[in-house]
């Protein structure tokens, strides 16, 4: 599987340092943060590429990773999990029920 942050030509979209004319950022910070928050594959790709980047690039991305620390939940998955719990819990009744077979006492 290819990395989320790599282009077809081998371009890494996480590379770049603001203010460095020889190594300009490929994507705006807000886009990177948004992808990290909303796309799990982006987060795993980020973790794979991060160690290969220059120290200056990692410094920039450290700040972005902190800003994107809390990923937005996948609401469909949350709802599915809740429904699964509701459908698999056993029902316990503590009230009066039918008399045991053979009668009482």
pLDDT at 51: 95
User: Is residue 31 a part of any domain in this protein?
Assistant: yes
User: Is residue 23 a part of any domain in this protein?
Assistant: yes
User: Is residue 97 a part of any domain in this protein?
Assistant: no
Beta-ladder partners of 12: 6
Helix (H, G, I), strand (E, B), or coil: what is residue 29?
A: helix
Q: Quick check: pTM over 0.75? A: no
User: Is residue 4 a part of any domain in this protein?
Assistant: no
Domain span at 30? 17-71
pLDDT at 37: 86
Nearest to 49 by CA among 105, 98, 7: 7
pLDDT at 99: 65
| 84-98: pLDDT as tens digits | 877 877 767 776 766
User: Is residue 81 a part of any domain in this protein?
Assistant: no
Q: Is residue 74 pLDDT above 90, yes or no?
A: no
| 7-57: pLDDT as tens digits | 988 899 999 999 999 999 999 999 999 999 888 899 899 999 999 999 999
Q: What kind and span of H or E run contains 38? A: helix 29-38
User: Is residue 61 a part of any domain in this protein?
Assistant: yes
User: Is residue 35 a part of any domain in this protein?
Assistant: yes
pLDDT at 100: 66
User: Is residue 10 a part of any domain in this protein?
Assistant: no
pLDDT at 89: 72
Total domain count, the chain = 1
């Amino acid at each position: 599987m290819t990395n989320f942050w790599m282009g077809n030509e081998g371009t890494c979209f996480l590379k770049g340092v603001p203010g460095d004319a020889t190594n300009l950022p490929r994507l705006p910070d807000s886009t990177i943060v948004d992808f990290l928050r909303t796309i799990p594959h982006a987060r795993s790709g980020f973790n794979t590429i991060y160690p290969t980047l220059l120290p200056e690039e990692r410094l920039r991305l450290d700040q972005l990773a902190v800003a994107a620390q809390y990923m937005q939940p996948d609401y469909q998955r949350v709802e599915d999990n809740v429904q699964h719990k509701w459908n698999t819990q056993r029902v316990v009744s503590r009230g009066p029920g039918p008399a045991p077979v053979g009668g009482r006492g």
